[in-house]
Homo-oligomer: A and B are copies of this chain.
């Protein structure tokens, strides 16, 4: 049981954690920290959180479990203040979609004041954002990646793991660099490609969108995501994204080359190999 869960940033992810924790009675008190009080008020009125504040230090000073759910760019900037205000025994974790930089920053801060930080990334979300669409079951069946390093405290890792598992998630661990390459491949690259697909149709003839069917809509659904959030993610994970785009270009060249070669059985064999890999995902 958590004594005081402090959630910094009450958007889709932070809000969904609050709802899930409340529903499962996993914390005695839930405190939400945000920049604008008005944005936090609905959660207070609904009884999803017990206290709201725009004062970071006040919101986390009594916390034994602190979840940082602000956007990636804000997280970086917040971390030194979190480090100063959090109690010595607290476990601190985050939900940022890239992990290399935040984990390095935490390691650097830990050199002067040892605090137990475990990087985290729930692979759940939506092309929409905000507390308004938060829901208690968002993490049920979702993958949550934790990114401990050799310096991480084993007990803190176990607590963060237990926390997400109690919310119904499957927890897996990766080192921060591998995490950033993996999400570049399965999350950031598909986003960029979806954006490029929509742009390519606009480039050819915008009226072609009038005959788009479910296949196009599914493939490009994520292109309707928040430009601000994704601009940050693309920039934050640029080296890994560049590697993923290079791999994608090779794959596209390879498949287009096969189609141009006219070798029917070679094309079909490759499409079948890809289909089989995709089907294992269902």
As a 0/1 sequence over residues 265 to 278 of chain A, the CB contacts with chain B under 8 angstroms (1 = contact) are 00111111011011
As a 0/1 sequence over residues 225 to 246 of chain A, the CB contacts with chain B under 8 angstroms (1 = contact) are 1111011001100100111110
List chain A positions with a Cβ less than 8 A from chain B. Answer: 123-125, 142-143, 145, 172, 174, 181-183, 185-187, 189-228, 230-231, 234-235, 238, 241-245, 247-252, 254-256, 259-260, 262, 264, 267-272, 274-275, 277-282
- Which residues of B have CB within 8 Å of A196? 248, 251-252, 254-255
CB distance from A179 to the nearest CB of B (A): 8
Give the one of A172, A197, A212 with max B CB within 10 A. A197
- Which residues of B have CB within 8 Å of A228? 268
- Which residues of B have CB within 8 Å of A192? 252, 255-256, 259
Contact A212 B281 (CB under 8 A): yes
Contact B213 A186 (CB under 8 A): yes
The docked-state distance in angstroms from the alpha carbon of A181 to that of B269 is 26
- Our pick among B143, B212, B227, B244 for the contact of A186 (Cβ within 8 Å) is B212
User: Assuming A185-B205, A197-B248, A235-B267, what are 18 further A-B pairs, CB within 8 angstroms?
Assistant: A125-B213, A143-B213, A182-B208, A187-B213, A187-B215, A190-B220, A192-B256, A195-B270, A209-B280, A216-B281, A218-B222, A224-B275, A225-B275, A228-B268, A231-B268, A231-B271, A235-B262, A245-B252
The docked-state distance in angstroms from the alpha carbon of A269 to that of B199 is 13
Contact A200 B143 (CB under 8 A): no
